[in-house]
């Protein structure tokens, strides 16, 4: 059965372009031209993923995202205007899975959609086993073990948890606050420098090990575990 994508976009030509392109790629799509219609279609169409523009009539993208998150974990990719870094951070912290900056190429949109769907499906399939493997890297959260190029590297638990968290969603950008909340917990009394320090220590262990992945800083936003060629 075709996967369903809800396109929330008030600019008709962009919406049409995405609709035609994604249908050609085998997805079933519907278009919501405003925020109100988006919430309506989210319920009746039950999409597997939502492409969500931020600036919308009736109800903006943030309000729509909030409604969607009240009902579940359906992946959402925000479409943000160029240069609005604040939008990216707000979106990620409010539970968006990724963002795409306009103007975009349809090819990029497709790649992001596939990555997000693969990731969210993978999470469901892998529930239970907490071991991630990449080229010359195994992060085992069951045994609290980090294997780098075949050797076991002593790693404090929080560092390992942080790396696991980033690597479990390859190429997804996390803000420092998200990482603090999700790895250290809401009640942790610390600031975002804690994250920077842990990333620095991880980098010392992981620098130059493989070309296939790296811990990247996304300027003005946060960090990601980048996997190339996937």
55 binds Ca ion (CB under 5 A): yes
**Smallest distance, Ca ion to C-beta of residue 54, A:** 7
Write down the least CB distance from residue 97 to Ca ion, Å.
19
How far, rounded to the nearest angstrom, does the alpha carbon of residue 40 sit from its chain's CA centroid?
Answer: 24
2 or 12: whose CB is closer to Ca ion? Answer: 12
Our CB check for Ca ion shows the closer of 57 and 220 to be 57
Q: Does 87 bind Ca ion (CB under 5 A)?
A: no
Nearer to Ca ion, 55 or 218 (CB): 55
Which alpha helices (H) appear in the chain, and where do they start and end? 12-24, 35-45, 61-71, 85-93, 106-125, 157-167, 176-179, 192-206
Handedness of CA 219, 190, 89, 116 (dihedral sign): positive
Task: CB nearer to Ca ion: give 13 or 207.
Answer: 13
Cβ neighbours of residue 10 closer than 8 Å, sequence gap 6 or more: 33, 34, 53, 55, 56, 57
Residue 67 or 130 with smaller CB distance to Ca ion: 67
Q: Does 10 bind Ca ion (CB under 5 A)?
A: yes
Q: Give min distance, CB of 194 to Ca ion, in A.
A: 37
Residue in 34, 48, 53, 98 binding Ca ion, rule: CB under 5 A: 53
Cis status, amide bond into 96, omega within 30 of 0? no
Contact 101, 80 (CB under 8 A): yes
Site residues for Ca ion per CB under 5 A: 10, 53, 55
């Amino acid at each position: 059965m075709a996967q369903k994508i809800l396109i929330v976009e008030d600019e008709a030509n962009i919406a049409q372009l995405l609709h035609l392109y994604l249908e050609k790629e085998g997805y079933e799509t519907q278009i919501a031209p405003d925020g109100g219609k988006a919430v309506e279609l989210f319920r009746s169409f039950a999409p597997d993923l939502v492409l969500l523009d931020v600036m919308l009539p009736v109800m903006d993208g943030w309000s729509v995202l909030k409604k969607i998150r009240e009902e579940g974990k359906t992946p959402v990719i925000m479409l943000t205007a160029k240069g609005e870094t604040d939008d990216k951070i707000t979106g990620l912290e409010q539970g968006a899975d990724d963002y795409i900056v306009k103007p975009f190429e349809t090819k990029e949109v497709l790649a992001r959609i596939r990555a997000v769907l693969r990731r969210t499906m993978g999470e469901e399939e892998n529930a239970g086993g907490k071991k991630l493997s990449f080229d010359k890297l195994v992060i085992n959260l069951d045994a609290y073990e980090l294997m780098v190029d075949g050797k076991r590297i002593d790693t404090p638990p929080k560092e390992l948890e942080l790396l696991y968290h980033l690597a479990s969603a390859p190429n997804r950008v996390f803000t420092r606050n998200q990482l603090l909340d999700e790895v250290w917990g809401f009640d942790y009394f610390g600031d975002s420098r804690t994250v920077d320090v842990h990333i620095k220590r991880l980098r010392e262990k992981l620098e130059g090990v493989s070309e296939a992945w790296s811990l990247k800083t996304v300027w003005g936003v946060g960090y990601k575990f980048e996997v190339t060629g996937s």
